[in-house]
Structure 1
Amino acid sequence: MEQATPTVPAAIDKPARQAARTKTLNQGYWKRYGVFYLMMAPALIVLIVNNYIPMAGALIAFKQMTYASPSFMQNFMDSPWIGWGNFKYLFASSDAWVITRNTMAYNAVFIVLNTVIGVAMAIGLNVMRSRLQSKLHQTILFLPYFMSWIILSYLVYAFLNPDIGILNKFVLPLFGAEPVDWYSDSKWWPLILPLVNTWKGIGYYAVIFLAAIVGIDNEYYEAAHMDGATKWRQIWTITVPLIRPVIVTMTLLQIGRIFYADFGLFFQVTRNAGALYDKTLVIDTYVYQGFLVSGDIGMSSAAGLYQAVIGFILVLTANLVVRRVSKDDALF
């Protein structure tokens, strides 16, 4: 007589089937996408080692560092915790206001200039009839971007040298103006620094905006031309609106670094002249000066942590504002 096969209740079999299905899906997922994770691994390791592990150094901002031992880790372990002491000392001085004002004001000007002039340059390059001329101008615009700040600082010094500089020797005499001691008179540097920064970086922004403009379908311009729209009308109604996502993205990325100043620009180009500190001292150079001159690594770390936290808050706030206005243009 044939023995009946025992049946498993559906309620008991369901978890087992779900577990088997999940295991099969996981195996298929890693088989399909595992190679991409493997390709991503080197960059991920570099990111963790260079960006995330050093974040543990933020604890130094809450310590009074001592240097009794030749080992840094031993000094870190032996140094007493002082809580917010380094931050209190930082904000009790006038330096906190000066470096915050200079860093944010300069970067705000840089953002406006990079965006407005970058878009204008991109539009100009796009309307050039000769492809050779367009490529030549792109190369000329991009060349300063690849130069180091050390090289550019000497080029700037060739113009601003008080004795034999081009401005004092040739340009100012043409207008009957007196020579200027550029590295002792700080009132000129809020104009000089944005000019130099724009000269160096505008090629980068122009090429990015140009890539976005090139991707616009030419049929939009043909239809606008048939309707009698002028070139300026086409720019304002077609070009700028269609590249708005790129403009917003580039602006948000710059806002994310509004509390980070380019060290080469503010240290090398100004030649670290003490007479200019009221107009050129920013957070990055202040951290460097604090560690190099006074050796106070705790206060330098406090300034750096203050810089990172405020920058993080600013980029979140800017992205939130963009989401309120246009959700599709936000980064996240």
Structure 2
Amino acid sequence: MKTSSAQADLFDDAPGYRETPRPALRKRPAATPQQAGWDDEEAAQRLERSGRFRILRKLAPRTVIPRAESAFPNLAVLVDMETTGLNHAKDEIIEIGAVAFTYDDDGAIGDVVGVFSGLRQPFEPIPAEITRLTGITDEMVAGLEIDLSALDALVEPADLIIAHNAAFDRPFCEKLSPTFAAKAWACSVKEISWADLGFEGNKLGYLVGQSGLFHEGHRATDDCHALLEVLARPVGDDGAPPFAALLRCSQLSRVRIYAENAPFDMKDHLKSRGYRWSDGSDGKPRAWWIEIDEDLREEEFRYLRTEIYCWEDAEPLTLHLTALDRYRA
């Protein structure tokens, strides 16, 4: 039997023979899309026309121009913020962003005329979950304060303040600066029927994606730019921008009705109709309440009088609300 040292290599051409290595071929660098005459928008359109692809385009913020150069008469400011928590009474703002834009009376969006972005160091360390969501760290905000004079200068001339969940943002904003308190507010979550416009949800990520865009989310100013594009793009059967619907809704008067002293066994009826419970801890009456359009007031009174109180002379506590009042703490 042969030892292994005497055996020929089965992968050799012949025992003891080795081929002289050939010099490696030099590869030419691949042509870039620009060198190859690539038109990315044309390629995206071709893919979309096939019906087998949907393309998301990276959102590019609009160019900022001086207010005097915009032909649109009205001014709105989009605001967004990142905070240390959800409770405006104890949690703090760590970032606020704002984008000011012009518009006309029909709800057509004009030009971006101002942008603000500011970070702020809170009194307590930023919770780890907030850093995970936003990317904002204690090191990023160390020693920083929001320039309120610059923010107020942007907000003061505005006819309307818009937030994507104004019930959250308005109390924080009013705590930060009294300039926000005297302004009319609109909520792009509650005051636009996104489902009727063909959207599958009202979270900003859904709206941006279904508008054919993507952006770097969870930073305040970036989210403001993203919401502006969603509000400006024509949708629905009439091709109107969602901002037009938001503007109309913001101009309506609404009423908040409190079903004080409603029988306890009626709570499920009230809840199924859309009433929410207030425990009185925020200064509001301790009662079930609902907020509706002004023209539905008498219908709601009939419901309460016949189904809840069973007393035709009942006069539930009613607060009349405009955009100046809505979404306050």
TM value normalised by structure 1: 0.20
Higher helix share: 1
TM value normalised by structure 2: 0.20
Higher strand share: 2
